[in-house]
Amino acid sequence: MSAASREAIVPSLAAMYQTFFPIGAAVEPETLVSQSDLLVTQVSSLVAENAMKWERIHPARGNNLSSYAFAGADAIVAFARDHGMKVRGHTLVWHNQVPAWVFQGDAGPVTKSELLSRLRGHINTLLAHFQGEVYCWDVVNEAISERAGEWRTDSPWYRLAGSDHGGDGIPGYIEKAFEYARAADPAARLFYNDYGIETGAKLETALRLMKALKAKGLVDGVGIQGHWTVFGPDAETVRRAIQSFASLGVEVQITELDVSLYRGGDTSVLQEPRVDLLSGQAEMYGSYFRVFREEAQAHRLTGVTFWGIADDHTWLDSFPVKGRKDWPLLFDIRHRPKDAFWTAATW
């Protein structure tokens, strides 16, 4: 296809992948407007980048409906409904973006039983509010540390409600969160979601967690976030992780896909996206999507969600260097398809 005709006709990734898996994107209420051109044509699933997180959706102390702020999340769900898209729920339990009141008692830190009761109230309210609209939930997000695959101990959830309940070494709050979610909406598919679980100790701990939760019927799937870079991980490493999780009988989704032009830990600054890096990115996306198609055909992968849709809105512009531009997605800042789009869309 010539460059000119590519400009003219941009196929829909969601349509091309219809028989494999939904193609998703993380959105903010504002990007439903600023990126609507791409969203309506390119994706078949949405997830709220921030709008369903505790600090946004349940900012005020207490558990009556006036403690909740549903407007942003409701706008996302309404957009999905209007355009026939699915919605993933993100996220019920995380160590970030939780208001301080959740962990405070009348005098000092909240007790474990009160914290779990607040968690149950939060989960019950959200799953009831979005019942039938949100088909799966990231129930617990990022509970495993980068240190040798230990539990994330620098989390108030762990500190206040982490002691083991079931004798299987799983922190209590994790199991409770899944129990509450299962009871609140038995039809919702329940996920554990994390980054860096493709290899090593973090993968081992994630497998142990999934196995224990699956044995109790509490979990349906694992989300491999997929915050990757031009420098790795390679697609075969990703394939092995997908297969390891799938062998436990859980579904696997890629939940937060983006491919940074910077190597992990690199704090240098590019003024423009370098051509060699953009072609490396295209190669990486091509090889990832080949693995995704093959694993979907083998019934091991059930969804691929990007953390954004175009380079004009990406969390990587503030991380790890605030204000540094990155270009991790398939569409450029003017919403034109990049080489990475074509390698993902061609087979």
Burial of 153 (C-beta count, 10 Å sphere; 0-12/13-18/19+) = exposed
Residues 270, 325 contacting (CB under 8 angstroms): yes
In angstroms, rounded to a whole number, what is the distance separating the alpha carbons of residues 98 and 110?
14
Smallest distance, Å, CB 49 to ligand G3I?
A: 5
Smallest distance, Å, CB 304 to ligand G3I?
A: 16
Active site residue 175: no
Q: Which is nearer to ligand G3I, 72 or 280 (CB)?
A: 72
Q: Which is nearer to ligand G3I, 49 or 220 (CB)?
A: 49
Please, what sign has the CA dihedral across residues 187, 192, 195, 196?
negative
- Nearest position to ligand G3I, beta carbon: 315
**Catalytic residue from among 49, 198, 256, 295:** 256
Structure tokens at 329: 């997605």
Active site residue 142: yes
Sorted by sequence, the CB contacts under 8 Å of residue 32 that are 6+ apart come out as 39, 75, 76, 79
Residues 119, 173 contacting (CB under 8 angstroms): yes
Structure tokens at 32: 């439903």
Smallest distance, Å, CB 158 to ligand G3I?
A: 17
Residues 326, 261 contacting (CB under 8 angstroms): yes
Smallest distance, Å, CB 309 to ligand G3I?
A: 13
Residues 170, 118 contacting (CB under 8 angstroms): no
Residues 14, 305 contacting (CB under 8 angstroms): no
Place of tokens 């102390």: 61
For binding to ligand G3I (CB under 6 A), which residues are involved?
49-50, 96-97, 141, 225, 256, 315
Neighbours of 174 (CB within 10 A): 28
Structure tokens at 328: 């991790």
Q: Which is nearer to ligand G3I, 25 or 218 (CB)?
A: 25
Smallest distance, Å, CB 148 to ligand G3I?
A: 21
Q: Which is nearer to ligand G3I, 48 or 213 (CB)?
A: 48
**Catalytic residue from among 49, 142, 175, 295:** 142
- For residue 241, CA distances in Å to 199, 200, 202, 210, 219 come to 7, 10, 11, 13, 17
Q: Which is nearer to ligand G3I, 193 or 205 (CB)?
A: 193
Q: Which is nearer to ligand G3I, 135 or 315 (CB)?
A: 315
Smallest distance, Å, CB 82 to ligand G3I?
A: 24
Catalytic residues: 142, 256
